[in-house]
Structure 1
Amino acid sequence: MMDNPTAIRPGEEVNQTSLQTYLADTIPNVGVIERIGQFPGGYSNLTYFIKTSEREFVLRRPPFGAKDIKGGHDMGREFRVLTMLRQAGYQRIPEPVLYCDDESVIGSSFYIMVRVPGVILRAPSAASLGVSTDTMRRLSESLVDTLADLHALDIYQTGLISLGKPEGYIQRQVEGWHKRYVAAQTDEVPAMTDLARYLTDHLPADNPPTLLHNDFKYDNVVLNPDGLSDIRAVLDWEMCTVGDPLMDVGTSLSYWSELHDDDFRKSLNPSWLPGNLTRQEFARRYADRSSRDVSNLLYFYVFGLFKNAVVVQQIYNRYKKGLTSDERFANLLTGVQALALAGTKALDNQSF
């Protein structure tokens, strides 16, 4: 059940000799690299396991061909977020070790953190683990509570407010993600045009800002193997900022597949397994835990679907250009279509 690395995908290798020299010069008593593996999940940043004779680390770097995505895959910012969270006293994160912007070391910027061993529920394998419905219920409740706890951090006292500009956050996000979609578009998807128009025409006022994770789902948390409802660490802070907390909730809900959803959406998150909260139950628990008004959550759910569709489109665009050869990306256009249709269906039914 442990989240273990596998062999590195062809074309995504790390120069072990160069990395060893760099680590030996920057980390005291780092030891000799004995193994480099790759964590196979995820479609975005590449994540590697680094085992030395002394310790175990995780290395994060941008995907190949990602330099044309403006503002994305910023390893320095992700490292800064982890550092600030540790300084703020938040412990459910890996310990950041170093950031390197010298691309001559492995061909890109990267950062290193201490590995947090545990279980990560990835959609392709979660069903085979045989997790009981009672455990899944407690875990899904714990996930909601963890998100509410993140939103309860004092962004002013901790200095986390410096991570973003909350004024006008929703409008900037809607406009920004629409521009990203246009830049990465390869095919006509009418439902994406409909969603972009809806989001622009129905902009709500911003709620008081909180810290936002912006990619909060099962495969971005590390679970205690001795009790899966115990969340050891929250991972993947690439898109962390400050802004309207319902943007975060909407993104999480957009990942929160249910049994009747299409296969692509179920491939993103094992929340469809028996015992999990439904999307409506997720929203109610968050409202109870945070005391926030979630009556307009449909808008944020639709935005989450649109944003996730744009991310998938960007990855598909890189594949079409030949910037990555990962065959998992060959049929991602169907994912864009599935997410967009889920958004239009939610609007038609006025329900998520």
Structure 2
Amino acid sequence: MTTTAVLDTTALEAWMDAAGLPGRGAPLEWSFVSGGSQNEIFEIRRGDLHAALRKPPLTAPASRDDGILREWRIIHALDGTDVPHTTAIAVCSDPAVLGRPFYLMGFVDGWSPMGGEGWPAPFDANLSVRRGLAEQLVEGVALLGAVDWRARGLGDLGRPDGFHDRQVPRWTSFYERIRARDLPGYEEATRWLAERRPLDFVPGIMHGDYQFANVMFQYGAPARLAAIIDWEMGTVGDPKLDLGWLMHSWPEDTAVSGAEGYVDLTGMPGRTALIEYYAERSGRQVDDMDYYQVLAKWKLAIVLEQGYQRAGDDPKLQSFGPLVLELMAGAADLAASSDYRSSR
């Protein structure tokens, strides 16, 4: 084991027994899956139960406890929907059991795009089946946005009223607090966003960091989304911002520049084709997608700028420096070239 993360199996077994979970009397087996400063994930086996346990590390800020319970609310609400997700098994809000609140979810039998070098077979060599990976990714946004969040008990999860009215004031205020250098294009992109709103706004569940890194696929072809994972930023807001987050850096021609990102998109549909695919699958209009893509680039640049300002000698955070400049310039360029003129 390459981590110091541990579980108090005696306490966990007692809690599982009290909760009436399968496996009473059977030995509990566990292994560390991932985590660090972020939430920790453990694989749990006990009798017929095969689950993943997710909790904040002991050193995480106290606010992370509310976050883990928020995640639980979302995956529990998704049970019974057609959104691919991890099955909600049980939650423990009492930090006395394992030191932090935690929950158990079904262990996903699938693969992560971030789990190795390149795509697994058959997606490594057969470009024709890669199309489905992209379409399934976009399908996830469409399915998530269609969930009746009020009926699923999430009426108080977020603040959809005034969602877009808050975006520019919130993030400009955040940027001014951390500002240590000028970002070319910031003023232009900020002004453009402040003067515009979506053509319509249909509130729904949004993931908040929707990308290949936060989904899992079933094994084999055709591509099938197994689960959307990592709900730290989940809320009720505008699901189309998830699409904007996904599409803002997606190339128009994947044959030319598909291999330049953190995953190889070669063989997948281009940005416009996937936005049209979303419109077909969701029934929502996409004439205002420039707004969402500018907002995504602008917001991500500000978020990463905070990391860059705290980089110190961390090479990963240092690498955010030029990426921030690229994102903000891209936001300004798209704003300048866009013919989207919807006003407030």
Q: Same fold (TM over 0.5)?
A: yes
Unaligned 5+ segments in structure 1 are 1-5
CA distance in 2: counterparts of 1:61 and 1:193, whole angstroms: 40
Residues 241 and 38 of structure 1, relative CA distance in 2, 3 Å threshold: same
Aligned to 2:235: 241
> Equivalent residues in 2 for 1:316-331 (5 A)?
316-317=308-309, 319-320=311-312, 328-331=316-319
Which structure is larger by alpha-carbon Rg, 1 or 2? Answer: 2
Secondary structure in 1 aligned to 2:104?
A: strand
Contact 2:37 2:57 in 1 (8 A): yes
Q: Encode CA deviations 1:81-105: one digit per residue, 9 max, x unaligned.
A: 111111x534621122344455566
Secondary structure in 2 aligned to 1:14?
A: coil
Aligned to 2:131: 137
Question: Is 1:179 matched with 2:173?
Answer: yes
Question: Is 1:89 matched with 2:81?
Answer: yes
> Equivalent residues in 2 for 1:1-352 (5 A)?
7-8=2-3, 13-16=4-7, 18=8, 20-28=9-17, 29=23, 32-39=27-34, 45-54=38-47, 55-62=49-56, 67=61, 74-86=67-79, 88-90=80-82, 92-102=84-94, 108-122=100-114, 125-126=117-118, 130-204=124-198, 206-227=200-221, 229-254=223-248, 256=250, 259=254, 266-267=261-262, 270=263, 272-317=264-309, 319-320=311-312, 328-350=316-338
Q: Encode CA deviations 1:251-305: one digit per residue, 9 max, x unaligned.
A: 2213535656699x812xx2x5222121111111112222322111101111112
CA distance in 2: counterparts of 1:56 and 1:169, whole angstroms: 39
Secondary structure in 2 aligned to 1:161?
A: coil
Residues 297 and 112 of structure 1, relative CA distance in 2, 3 Å threshold: same
Contact 1:45 1:60 in 2 (8 A): no
Deviation at 1:124, TM superposition (A): 7.0
Contact 1:62 1:73 in 2 (8 A): no
**Paired residue total:** 329
Deviation at 1:311, TM superposition (A): 3.3
Deviation at 1:80, TM superposition (A): 0.8
Secondary structure in 1 aligned to 2:223?
A: strand
Deviation at 1:76, TM superposition (A): 1.0
CA distance in 2: counterparts of 1:310 and 1:74, whole angstroms: 22
Residues 230 and 184 of structure 1, relative CA distance in 2, 3 Å threshold: same
CA distance in 2: counterparts of 1:101 and 1:180, whole angstroms: 31
CA distance in 2: counterparts of 1:185 and 1:107, whole angstroms: 36
CA distance in 1: counterparts of 2:257 and 2:336, whole angstroms: 16
Q: Encode CA deviations 1:55-110: one digit per residue, 9 max, x unaligned.
A: 44333345798649x89981111111111111x53462112234445556666544
Q: TM-score, normalised by structure 2?
A: 0.79
Residues 57 and 93 of structure 1, relative CA distance in 2, 3 Å threshold: same
Secondary structure in 1 aligned to 2:297?
A: helix
Larger deviation, residues 74-83 vs 154-163: 154-163
Secondary structure in 2 aligned to 1:196?
A: helix
CA distance in 1: counterparts of 2:115 and 2:248, whole angstroms: 15
Q: TM-score, normalised by structure 1?
A: 0.78
Q: CA RMSD, aligned part only? A: 3.6
